[in-house]
Amino acid sequence: MQEMRYEAPKTLAAAVALLAGASGSARLLAGGTDLLIQMRGGRVEPELVIDIKGIPEMTSIVAENGAYRFGAAVPCMALVEDKAFGKAWPGVVDGANLIGSIQVRGRATVGGNLCNASPAADTVPALIAAGATARIVGPNGRREVPVEDVATGPGTTSLAKGEIVASFLLPKRPPRSGDAYLRFIPRTEMDIAVVGAGINLTLDEAGVCSHARVSLGAVAARALLVSEAADALIGTKVDAEALKRMAAAVSAACRPIDDKRGTKEYRIKVAGVMARRAAQIALDRARRKD
Ligand SMILES: Cc1cc2nc3c(=O)[nH]c(=O)nc-3n(C[C@H](O)[C@H](O)[C@H](O)COP(=O)(O)OP(=O)(O)OC[C@H]3O[C@@H](n4cnc5c(N)ncnc54)[C@H](O)[C@@H]3O)c2cc1C
């Protein structure tokens, strides 16, 4: 077993310098709920582990003129317990609140969930539906990237060497907006999504859907943004017919695998059902807001 160096920088710049300057394999450590399991299983053996939980801008939740910025190393439980955040973005909280157990959520972060790049990651479809952008900081500066463009496939991301996801920005919400995330798992607790569906929508004063985003998890190599499904909702009162067309567009977009949790055909069918149910919750939430 090789020696491992552990660093806990206090600034983002120091973390980037360590990661970019590493000559051997290096990994960021956020909550460690994926990384430590991979290390113990021998799947990764980093020479350098950089703990990012002590970096203030990566561990804070800040309201910015109606928008929200939260650090990539904020534990899911902190998002779940932030009442104002939960009022603004209940669907994002739905995703964060489904990760593992309360103990896991006390450690697990949204940045880790995204960068581990599992197609079934529960926070990712909710963030994509929300229109979230990731702030990525690296040796060549800073860039803002839509969340749907970060994971590129199972276990792979678009991050270049030395780059870190620093934080996420959730845009200011118009009135009458609501979002929701639902997943299907074969057990009642602690399982990986067979299908996940995130929906975000806004209604105009007449109750007509003026904006929508639909995202799916676990039905392709990475989470999908399904614009055809959103188009089926926009311009409607999100009635039964619109939901049926949205569910059909969702099923048509799925490119799932067969595995022990479900066949392709099963996932395609369940995706439509989950999306329809999530849209109904998002609609109810939008109607409750002024
Ligand atoms: C018992 C158990 C149950 C679980 N249940 C679920 C579940 O229901 N749903 C689900 O989606 N996941 C689940 N997970 C997986 C895991 O908890 C999540 O993926 C979690 O969000 C990972 O976050 P973390 O902070 O622990 O990541 P870490 O393990 O610290 O990091 C994961 C990967 O991302 C990289 N990374 C971390 N932060 C950054 C960053 N800011 N920038 C760039 N790279 C970064 C790390 O280097 C590492 O490669 C479960 C895990 C366990 C152990």
- As a whole number of angstroms, the distance between CA 173 and CA 211 comes to 11
Rg, the chain, Cα only: 19
71 lines ligand 1 (CB under 6 A): no
Nearest CA to ligand 1 atom 19: 113
Ligand 1 atom nearest 36 alpha carbon? 29
Nearest CA to ligand 1 atom 38: 112
Q: How far is the CA of 101 from the centre of ligand 1 (A)?
A: 13
What pLDDT band is residue 3 in, cutting at 50, 70 and 90?
confident
Whether 99 lines ligand 1, by a CB cut-off of 6 Å, is: yes
Task: Give the pLDDT score at 273.
Answer: 97
Q: How many CB atoms lie within 10 A of CB 47?
A: 14
Please tell me if the CB atom of residue 104 comes closer than 6 angstroms to any atom of ligand 1: yes
Q: Contact 245/209 with Cβ under 8 angstroms? A: no
Model's pTM, two decimal places?
0.97
Alpha-carbon distance 219 to 201, whole Å? 22
Mean pLDDT of the region 116-143: 97
Tokens of 17: 């310098």
Q: Which of 189-193, 211-215, 278-282 has the lowest mean pLDDT?
A: 189-193
- As given in the structure block, the two tokens for residue 65 are 């003129």
With a CB cutoff of 8 Å and minimum separation 6, the contacts of 157 are: 114, 115, 117, 150, 151
Q: Whose CA is nearest to atom 36 of ligand 1?
A: 112
Does the structure show a pLDDT above 60 at 290? Answer: no
CB within 8 A of 265, min separation 6: which ones? Answer: none
How is residue 149 annotated by DSSP? G
Q: Where are the alpha helices (DSSP H) in 9-89?
A: 12-21, 35-40, 76-81, 83-88
State the angle between helix axes of 240-253 and 264-288 in degrees (0 to 180), rounded to the nearest 10: 140
Q: How confident is the model at residue 189 (pLDDT cuts 50, 70, 90)?
A: confident
Residue nearest to atom 46 of ligand 1 (CA): 28
Q: Give the pLDDT confidence score for residue 289 in this predicted structure.
A: 65
Q: Which atom of ligand 1 is nearest to the CA of 58?
A: 41
Mean pLDDT of 200-217: 98
For 191-207, write each residue's pLDDT tens digit.
Answer: 888 899 999 999 999 99
Average model confidence (pLDDT) for the chain?
Answer: 96
Q: Which tens digit of pLDDT belongs to each residue from 254-277? A: 999 898 888 999 999 999 999 999
Question: H helices of the chain, where?
Answer: 12-21, 35-40, 76-81, 83-88, 90-96, 102-107, 110-115, 123-130, 227-233, 240-253, 264-288
Residues 63 and 86: beta-carbon distance below 8 Å: no
**Bridge partners of residue 49, in order along the sequence:** 6, 27
Give the pair of three-digit tokens for residue 64.
């910015």
Residue 211 CA, ligand 1 centroid: distance in Å: 31
Per residue in 23-81, pLDDT tens?
A: 999 999 999 999 999 999 999 999 999 999 999 999 999 998 889 999 999 999 999 99
pLDDT of residue 191: 81
The minimum-distance atom of ligand 1 relative to the CA of 98 is: 8
Q: Does residue 113 line the site of ligand 1, with CB under 6 A?
A: yes
Q: Report pLDDT for 1.
A: 60
- Assign 280 a pLDDT band (cuts: 50, 70, 90): very high
Whole-number percent of the chain with pLDDT over 70: 99
What is the rounded average pLDDT of the residues 118-136? Answer: 98
CA–centroid distance, 17 to ligand 1, in Å, is 23
pLDDT at 192: 84
Assess whether the C-beta atom of 173 lies below 6 angstroms from ligand 1. no
What pLDDT score does 190 carry? Answer: 75
pLDDT at 64: 82
Neighbours of 24 (CB within 10 A): 10
Q: How far is the CA of 107 from the centre of ligand 1 (A)?
A: 9
Q: Which residue has the higher pLDDT, 246 or 186?
A: 246
Structure tokens at 172: 């200011």
Distance (Å) of CA 111 to CA 22, 28, 134, 166: 21, 10, 9, 8
- pLDDT at residue 9, rounded to an integer: 98
| Six-digit token string for 122 | 């529960």
Q: Is 115 in the pocket of ligand 1 (CB under 6 A)?
A: yes
Q: How confident is the model at residue 94 (pLDDT cuts 50, 70, 90)?
A: very high
Instruction: Report whether residue 111 contacts ligand 1, using a CB cutoff of 6 Å.
Output: yes
